[in-house]
Each structure stands twice: as C-alpha cells, then as structure tokens.
Amino acid sequence: MILRMTLILVFLLFFLAACESGNKNITPINDMPEKQTEVTEKETDSVTYLLNKINEKAKLGLVEKCEFSALDSTMDQVKSQWGEPDKVDRAGSGYYAVYENRDITFGYNENGQIFDVRSYSPYLQKITFDWIEKSFGDPVKKTELEGENIYTYQVNDDIQLKFIISKQTKAVDHISVYNQKKTKIEKESYYLEIKGKSNQLSPTAWGRMLEWREQIVDFSKGYDHVFVNGPNKKMIALTFDDGPDSAVTTKVIDILDEYDVTGNFFFVGKNVTKYPEVVKQAFEKGHLVLSHSYNHIDLAQIGEEELRSEIEKTESSIEEIIGKRPAMIRPPYGETDDQVAGIAKERGYSVVLWSIDTLDWSQKEAGNIFKNVIEHVRNGDIILMHTTPETSETQKALPMIIEELQKRNFDIVGLDTLLNMEAYQ
C-alpha cells in the first residue's frame, strides 16, 4: 500500500514538472507587443541611419561604394579605375554607362562629364516610401510611371536625390543622385531666337507670339531635354507638323527623296491611324516619324491622366506601323510647361520645338515661306513647316528652300543627327 502511494506521488510530480517545462516555450500574450516594439525600434534606427547616410553622400554627389561624384567626376576617370562599362545606353541628350557587378550606373553628357550617379545596391530594398517620408518629409516632385514611382528631393542647389520605388515590391529599386546644373550648363552656350514673320497676323496676335517665343526659349534653358535649336554647326533640320494626309505629306516625301535629304515628321496620332501607308512610306524612305500628340490639343491645358493618354496613344499607333516608339515629341502649338516636360522625359522623350517658324499656316504663299527660312537661317536651326491640305504652298516652297540651303553649304539632316540623340526608344 505504501509502495503504491509512493509510485502515484512520483508520477504526479513528474507530470507537473513536464507541464511546467512545456509552458516555458509559450510566450505570454501580454509580452508579445513589447517584444514586437523592440524589433520595430531596431528596424527604425537601422533605416533612419541608412537614409541619413544616403542624404549626406548625395550632398557630395555620391552614392555608397562609389568614389565618383555627379559634381566633378568624368567617365575617363571611371574607366581608368573601373575599366570599360558592361553596356552603354542612350537616353535623351546623355548616355548611361552600366557597371553591373558594382550595381552602379553613370549618366554623362557628350563631354564625358557625369551628371547622374545611380545605385542599384540590394541593401536599398529594405527602404519603403513610408521610411523616406518620415526622414525627409514630402518630396518636391512625385512622378508616376507604369511600373514605378519616383520621389525627388532637392538636397542642395545642384543635386536632386531621387528614390525609384517599384510598384510591385513597394520598396526602393534604385536611387539617383542627379546634378541639374551640369546638364543645363551644356545647353546654355548656344541658344537662338525664334524667327519668322507673317503680315496676316493682327498686332495683338503678333505681340502674343513674340512674347511666347521669348518665354519658350527661356523655358528650354531649364531642361536638358527641351530643344529650340541644335548646336552651332553648319546643319539644319526640316520639320513637318500635323500630318500625315493623303496628298501634301506624300508630295513632301517625294521632294525630300528627290534631293536626298532627311525630313522629320511630327505626326498626329489620329491621322496616323487614318493614313498608315503614308507613315510607313515616310519611315521606309529614311525619314523620322515622331510624335505630335494624338488629338492635336494644347497639352499644357489638360490634366496629367489625359496628357499621358495623348502621348501613349500616339506612340502606340506609330509603333504598330513602323515597329518603333518615337523618342521625340513636339507639343501642338509649342505649348509646354513643367508637367508636359516632366512626363515627356519620364516616357523617354525629348521635347523638340523650333527656331524658325515659316508661318506657312498664316501667310501661306510659297514666297513668304521661302523668305522666312532664307533671311533668317543660322547654324543649328530647326525649321517648322506643315503638311496638311491647308498648307499646300509648303510643297512649292520646299525645293527652293533645299536648293538655297545646299548652295550655302548647310547639311540638311535628321533631328537625331542634329541633336546627337536617338530618334526612337
């Protein structure tokens, strides 16, 4: 009997000990929030430190693990230490050299000066916009693309710090340390006034046009991808807006082919869908097929969503015919603002305006069209004409213009040659 009671007691003690041991592995509910808070605080400290470090580096034009700066470095310096890049891409008026093993890409201009340093380091992927906003506040600019959002902060007078965040992962894909001033300096050395007259405009209309011309030239100086003219070289570009149509555009193409010169056609998207064979003819003859919006409306007077639609529908209609997406756009009427310029750049476009307006839409006589070009032509001019049924005098003036320009030893070239950039994306 005593032995049996002893065994029962031992069993009970063993059972209680086992239960107590098992309970040690269970975290009390009341303790969980405290432990979770500790992890969040550590994470906050880590990301805040990382963002502060990124910001301090950016002020110097730098990113982590890269000694070359967007302030004063050149691609020659990079190549002397890192060797040749894995690949080089063209974008707008610049180039981008990719060093894949280092997770670094450099943007640089024609003179080899670096204006953009990008880091694709995996450690950036722990950062979300919530963390960025907590550290830096609201961005000076937010840009939404198809697969990503770009948040831009101005860290000093020269440098913008951009966080490119994937819409899929919600985290930073890469950062860009961008020197605005360096790209502007390259363009400010040669700007032309916009020339061309018509006696058919009222004094009020003429005054408004002169005011717009001055404003748009000043506006273009603030962007590295907005052009009124090309460089100070013995080259000009003939550009034609508002086509295609079934009559004037084809005759202009024939004239350009006869003289073996390149034309630049800024086509309206809705006309592209009506006359695809004319678009194909222009492209196959070696002329540039570029964007002039879809509905030929003032892009500076519409909202962001409609603006994107105008650009995207036009590029889709062109790509469907020639298999390429244009990389140049001319806003109708030349009306351009910060939103138009910004979204154009996001979509991979340069904005190309003009430095000579033939006013073939106003004083339509071939003689006046010819006079507006020949009396004003300068190195790097971009000449504006139209190919619509209403501007049939343009085709009469065109042979005279080409012959006189060639007599004066101007090379008549495509905008890709004049501006030294790709015409297609």
Specify the domain boundaries for CATH 3.20.20.370 within the chain. 188-418
Q: Please say whether the beta carbons of 246 and 361 come within 8 A.
A: no
Nearest C-alpha neighbor of 216 from the set 360, 328, 92, 340: 340
Alpha carbons 146 and 68: distance in angstroms, whole number: 31
Alpha carbons 118 and 61: distance in angstroms, whole number: 10
239 DSSP β-pair partners: 264, 384
The count of other CB atoms within 10 Å of the CB of residue 322 is: 17
351 phi and psi angles, rounded to 5 deg: -100, 120
Nearest C-alpha neighbor of 278 from the set 308, 240, 232: 240
* Residue 364 neighbours by CB under 8 Å, 6+ apart: 390, 391, 393
The CA-CA-CA angle for residues 207, 333, 293, to 5°, reads: 170
Alpha carbons 199 and 201: distance in angstroms, whole number: 6
DSSP secondary structure letter of residue 380: T
Alpha carbons 10 and 249: distance in angstroms, whole number: 104
Q: Work out the burial of residue 281: count CB atoms within 10 Å of its CB; fewer than 13 is exposed, 13-18 middle, 19 or more buried.
A: middle
pLDDT at residue number 307: 96
Report pTM: 0.63
Run means of pLDDT, 10 residues per run, the chain, 425 residues: 45 44 36 39 76 96 96 96 92 81 93 94 93 93 82 93 95 94 62 96 95 96 93 96 96 97 98 98 97 97 95 97 96 96 93 98 95 97 96 96 97 95 91
Alpha carbons 153 and 37: distance in angstroms, whole number: 30
Q: Work out the burial of residue 188: count CB atoms within 10 Å of its CB; fewer than 13 is exposed, 13-18 middle, 19 or more buried.
A: exposed
pLDDT at residue number 110: 77
Q: Which CATH superfamily is domain 188-418 in?
A: Glycoside hydrolase/deacetylase (3.20.20.370)
Q: Please say whether the beta carbons of 382 and 368 come within 8 A.
A: no
pLDDT at residue number 41: 56
Q: Which residues are catalytic?
A: 241, 386
Q: Please say whether the beta carbons of 247 and 276 come within 8 A.
A: no
Alpha carbon distances (Å) from 175 to 51, 117, 325: 11, 8, 26
